[in-house]
Structure 1
Amino acid sequence: MQDIIANEEHIRFDFEPFVKEQLGLSIGENARKREVCKYFLKGHCPNGSKCLYRHNKGERSVVCKHWIRSLCKKGDSCEFLHEMNRNKMPECYFYTQYKQCTNPECYYLHVDPDAKRKICVWYSKGFCKHGPSCRGKHVRKVICPLYLTGFCPSGPDCENEQ
C-alpha cells in the first residue's frame, strides 16, 4: 500500500495535456508556478511552455463582444466571458470616441473617457507646460478660505488646498 501512495508522481491522467495547454498549469506544479510570468502578461514569453512561471491570464474579466452577437468562433477556448454580465461588458466604442451613444438598447458599458485619464502630476504641482492640450487631467483644487484669511485650524488635515 505504501508503494502505491509513494509513487503518485508517476501517475498521469488523460486530461493533463489539456490542463497544461489551455490553462497554463500542470498537475503537482511547484510553488514558483503560482506566480504569473511578467513577460507573458506583456504579450510574449521567450521561454514558451518551458517557462517556470504561469502563463494564464486568470479569470475572464470581460464579456466577449463577438459572443454578444452570437459570432464567437472560439467557444470554450475564448479568453473572454461567454455570459451576460452587465458589470463585465466591454466599453461602448461610440460612447468612448464621441461621448454619446444613440442606441437606447446598447449592451456595452458607457464609461466617461475623462474619468479614465490620469491626473497630470505637473499641474497638481503648480504648472503644466502643455496647458489645455495636456493628455492628463487638470484638477482644480479648492483653496481653503480660512487659510486665505490667515489661519486654518485644520492645518494639513484640511480637505481643501493650503
Structure 2
Amino acid sequence: MQDLIAGVEKITFQLETDVLEQRGTVLLPFQGMDKSGAAVCEFFIKGYCRYGLMCPFRHVTGEKTVVCKHWLRGLCKKGDQCEFLHEYDMTKMPECFFYSKFGECSNKECPFLHIDPASKIKDCPWYDRGFCKHGPACKHRHTRRVMCVNYLAGFCPEGPKCKFVQPQFIPRGCKTSLFSLATFWCRAACRSPREQQLILVECSAHLSRSPVLSVETKAITLINAAKVELPAS
C-alpha cells in the first residue's frame, strides 16, 4: 500500500549523486598514506581517475587476492563485476573477524585467516616525515630511525643495503631534470632573493656539497648552468 501511495523508486537524491561521482573528496596531503580502510575508487575502475596517487580512495589493480565473503554465503549480487575473488581458495580467504577483534577464535576449524594484529600495523607516514600530531596515541607504528652519517656526508658504501636511513630530499615520483634538481637544492640552501636569481652560478658551492646528486650529475648540471642567461641586476 505504501508503494502505491508514495513510491520513491524514480526519485534520486542529491546525496546519491554526490557519492556516486565522489564529489567533495579531499586529496591526500602526500603520497604513500594508508588507504586500507578507504572505499574503492569508482573512477579508477573505469580508467580515468584524475587524482592519481593523491586519490583518497583505493586503486584496485591486478589479480583479485581475497575471496568474497558474501560469495561464501551465496549473497554476492555483483557477479563478475565484484572486485573480490569468487573462488574457494584457502590461501586467499578473508581475515577472521573474531581473531582480529578479540585476539582469539573459538572455532578450531575456522576457514578464515588468523593474522597477528601487530604485523598489520603500518608505519606512520606523518612520523616518517618529521612530526605526528597524535603522538603515542597514533594507531600507526612510530619507528625511530637513525640517519646514515656516510650518506649525509656524500656517499655510503653500503648503498641500499645500509641498516641506517638514507633520507631522500627530492620527493619520490617526481620527473625532474638535472637542471631542476640543482635548482631545488640551491633554493633550499640560499636565502636572499638575489641569491635565488643567481641559483646555478653563485650557488655552485651549495651544489658541490649536495648529497643528493652524484658527481656526474653535478658536472653536467654545472655545464648547463654556464648556458643560462643571468637576469639584469
Shorter chain as denominator, the TM-score bin is 0.3 to 0.5
Which gives a bigger RCO, structure 1 or 2 (Cα 8 Å, sep 6+)?
1
TM norm structure 2: 0.34
TM norm structure 1: 0.45
